[in-house]
């Protein structure tokens, strides 16, 4: 990575919804707020160097590629990372990037993300609950956001009252003027996970002789810490990330194993989009700070407000360019209302239980009150590509609109090679669609599906089967009125069906993957629904005690009426070795069975066991679960399961 792109900054007071620059796709919805010219007419803002690239930091508000504060960034060629230990940032996949997370990205001159990094604000065990407000963790005070512009996203818990003292949580968010972390995301982790403490904050009470400092009241001993960048000199007022693999002592001291000073290291002309809570405002020069970034707003236009609205503590999103030692703002947007919290998701449906419970790109969705476009509720199923717009409430995306994305018209034959960089399913002709067969023409094989305005066609190469089983079906079973799931590719304006799955007479098992909450001896909550279980339910990868709040699982269940009963629970929260990896997502960039990607991770499945399908079914757009081991950055798959 170019040194000037290494803007290693986590803002102390990042806003509840941060601003990030648009790159790659232009599909994000532009703000309807009128831009207001400040009282001082701005002069021209310096133009970034043509090869300058860009930097963005903000909160994830959607996917399709990745959407940061409402702006779509192209992550088709991105490397994904998670910063926990700041001296050894972990490599991840797109599955590690979730709603409400604080992230930073560096982009090339083509505006495509090169690296996208998740930046937790604090990680560890809850030590004190503050009823109705928040909790304390690693000496830091965390508050659940009640701001409609940036509500807190939960995972492994639905609301604050689900959390308990001793729970291990990962928190993303921003510090207000009092140093309280206002959470944009709270994720309850596996209670038996590796001990880890992470705190991001401002240095005070530095004692270089004793090698101690304080962050918002937490004493940190950095005697044995790796300091980053190399040769850095610690000073009071610096923003740091501290990490330890030891619990905080009884004396409330954190023994840091790594400590990184976060400060801008940008080159002139670098485009920047960043947000935060205004601090150190100079109303005469229109200069202020967002964390450690000095912002010069004297040449800026203002949106959703006017220049006189600038005040310490106000959340803003700023776009501009870096010049010498500051961000020269071209625009400043005030974060004010629920419109700033709009969530957008584009991807394949997974973990489908009902209209009120399914996932898109790992985010839980309730579409029971949504307005549908391009289809109807009956057309939803695992593997169907959708676009969702809505808002977050208690960790669930409440869909306002849902569009079922039928295939684009293409002129290349269905078996033609996909573009080598076609990593987003939306750019491919492959689609999974479900519905009831109508208007079947026995001679031509053409038909339609209820709710979908699209002509489909079967032919002699179409394969037939039964959903949720290996039961073979045939063309004679395919008649008007049949409820089916079909998969195919466009040729001109017709979807050529490659595979038909007929609905079974008995409802097949459903699969759910997520983090447990509300666990009792008879039931638990997973993906917003209650699942019944008992001590006799088979458990893979763990014992009875493994079924606990915060544990990641995959559950095979049967649905009967309103009841969902677990038939098998597979514990996912513990890997046997460090390089064991399981990822779920659509196949992209397919070259061969030994060279493709899933969730941004390169995969070699040449020797994998294929479940619920065959090697010939491996294709761009297919939703799969891959298990294997990482070797030199490639996931050597031992097993692939088709999930659509």
Beta bridge partners of 360: 349, 363
Query: How far is Cα 607 from Cα 68, in angstroms, rounded to an integer?
Result: 38
Beta bridge partners of 129: 135
Identify whether 192 is part of a domain: no
Together in a domain, 374 and 331:
no
CB 45 within 8 A of CB 81: no
Query: How far is Cα 72 from Cα 6, in angstroms, rounded to an integer?
Result: 21
User: What are the pLDDT digits (tens) for 498-508?
Assistant: 999 998 878 88
User: What are the pLDDT digits (tens) for 195-230?
Assistant: 999 999 999 999 999 999 999 999 999 999 999 999
Query: How far is Cα 235 from Cα 238, in angstroms, rounded to an integer?
Result: 6
What residue has token string 């937790």? 120
DSSP letter at 459?
A: -
User: What are the pLDDT digits (tens) for 236-291?
Assistant: 988 899 999 999 998 899 999 999 998 777 788 889 888 777 888 999 999 998 77
Burial of 208 (0-12, 13-18, 19+ CB in 10 A): exposed
- Count of domains in the chain? 6
User: Which range has the worst mean pLDDT, 92-96, 322-326, 615-619?
Assistant: 615-619
Identify whether 102 is part of a domain: no
What residue has token string 């939960």? 154
- Average pLDDT on 144-158 reads 86
Together in a domain, 334 and 275:
yes
Pick the closest to residue 395 from 156, 564, 172, 191 (CA basis): 156
User: What are the pLDDT digits (tens) for 6-63?
Assistant: 443 333 333 333 333 333 333 333 333 333 333 333 333 333 443 458 888 888 888 9
CB environment 514-542: b (16+ within 10 A), e (fewer): bbbbebeeebbbbbbbebebeeebebeeb
Query: How far is Cα 199 from Cα 85, in angstroms, rounded to an integer?
Result: 10
Beta bridge partners of 447: 456
Q: Which residues contact 514 (CB under 8 A, 6 or more apart)?
A: 155, 351, 359, 364, 526, 527, 552, 553
Q: Which of 297, 314, 338 is the last residue of a domain?
A: 338
Together in a domain, 597 and 635:
yes
Together in a domain, 490 and 542:
no
CB 14 within 8 A of CB 291: yes
Q: Domain range holding 564? A: 510-571
3-state secondary structure of 379: helix
Asked if pLDDT for residue 303 goes beyond 80, the answer is: yes
Question: 564: left (phi > 0), else alpha (psi -120 to 50), else beta?
Answer: beta
User: What are the pLDDT digits (tens) for 443-475?
Assistant: 999 999 999 989 999 999 999 988 877 778 888
**Mean of per-residue pLDDT scores for the chain:** 83
Identify whether 547 is part of a domain: yes
Together in a domain, 244 and 276:
no
């Amino acid at each position: 990575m170019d040194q000037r792109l290494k803007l290693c900054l986590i803002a102390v007071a990042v806003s509840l919804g941060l601003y990030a620059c648009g790159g790659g796709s232009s599909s994000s919805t532009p703000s309807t707020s009128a831009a207001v010219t400040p009282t001082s007419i701005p002069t021209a803002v310096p133009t970034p160097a043509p090869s300058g690239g860009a930097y963005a930091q903000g909160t994830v508000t959607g996917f399709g590629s990745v959407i940061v504060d409402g702006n779509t960034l192209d992550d088709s060629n991105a490397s994904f990372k998670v910063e926990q230990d700041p001296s050894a940032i972990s490599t991840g996949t797109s599955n590690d990037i979730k709603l409400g997370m604080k992230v930073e990205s560096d982009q090339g001159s083509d505006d495509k993300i090169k690296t996208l990094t998740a930046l937790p604000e604090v990680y560890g065990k809850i030590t004190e609950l503050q009823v109705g407000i928040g909790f304390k963790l690693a000496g830091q005070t965390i508050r659940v956001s009640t701001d409609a512009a940036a509500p807190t996203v939960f995972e492994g818990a639905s609301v604050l009252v689900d959390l308990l003292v001793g729970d291990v949580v990962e928190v993303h968010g921003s510090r207000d003027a009092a140093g309280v972390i206002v959470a944009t995301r709270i994720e309850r982790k596996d209670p038996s996970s590796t001990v880890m403490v992470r705190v991001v904050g401002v240095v005070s009470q530095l004692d270089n002789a004793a090698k101690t400092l304080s962050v918002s009241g937490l004493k940190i001993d950095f005697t044995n810490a790796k300091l980053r960048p190399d040769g850095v000199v610690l000073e009071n007022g610096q923003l740091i990330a501290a990490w330890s693999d030891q619990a905080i002592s009884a004396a409330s001291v954190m023994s840091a194993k790594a400590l990184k000073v976060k400060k801008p290291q940008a080159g002139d002309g670098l485009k920047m989009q960043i947000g935060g809570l205004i601090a150190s405002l100079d109303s005469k020069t229109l200069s202020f700070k967002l964390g450690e970034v000095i912002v010069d707003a004297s040449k800026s236009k203002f949106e959703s407000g006017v220049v006189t609205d600038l005040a310490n503590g106000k959340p803003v999103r700023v776009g501009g360019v870096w010049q010498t030692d500051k961000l020269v703002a071209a625009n400043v947007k005030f974060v004010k209302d629920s419109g700033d919290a709009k969530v957008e998701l584009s991807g394949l449906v997974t973990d489908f239980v009902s209209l009120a419970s399914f996932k898109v790109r790992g985010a839980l969705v309730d579409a029971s009150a949504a307005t549908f476009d391009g289809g109807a509720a009956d057309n939803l199923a695992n593997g169907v590509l959708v676009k969702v717009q809505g808002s977050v409430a208690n960790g669930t995306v409440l869909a306002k609109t849902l569009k079922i994305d039928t295939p684009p018209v293409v002129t290349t034959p269905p078996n033609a090679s996909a573009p080598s960089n076609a990593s987003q399913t939306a750019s491919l002709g492959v689609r999974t669609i479900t519905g009831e067969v109508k208007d079947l023409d026995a001679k031509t094989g053409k038909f339609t599906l209820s709710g979908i305005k699209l002509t489909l066609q079967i032919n002699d190469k179409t394969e037939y089967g039964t959903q949720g089983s290996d039961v073979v079906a045939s063309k004679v079973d395919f008649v008007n009125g049949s409820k089916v799931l079909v998969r195919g590719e466009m040729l001109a304006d017709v979807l050529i069906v490659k595979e038909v799955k007929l609905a079974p007479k008995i409802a097949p098992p459903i699969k759910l993957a997520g983090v447990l909450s509300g666990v009792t001896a008879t039931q638990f909550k997973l993906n917003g629904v209650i699942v019944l279980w008992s001590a006799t339910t088979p458990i893979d990868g763990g014992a009875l005690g493994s079924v606990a709040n915060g544990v990641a699982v995959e559950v095979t269940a049967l649905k009967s009426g309103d009841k969902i009963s677990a038939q098998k629970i597979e514990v996912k929260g513990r890997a046997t070795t460090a390089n064991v990896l399981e990822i779920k997502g659509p196949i992209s960039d397919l070259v061969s069975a030994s060279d493709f990607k899933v969730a941004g991770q390169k995969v070699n499945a040449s020797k994998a066991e294929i479940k619920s399908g065959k090697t010939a079914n491996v294709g761009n757009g297919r939703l799969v679960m891959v298990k294997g081991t990482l070797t030199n950055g490639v996931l050597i798959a031992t097993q692939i399961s088709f999930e659509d």
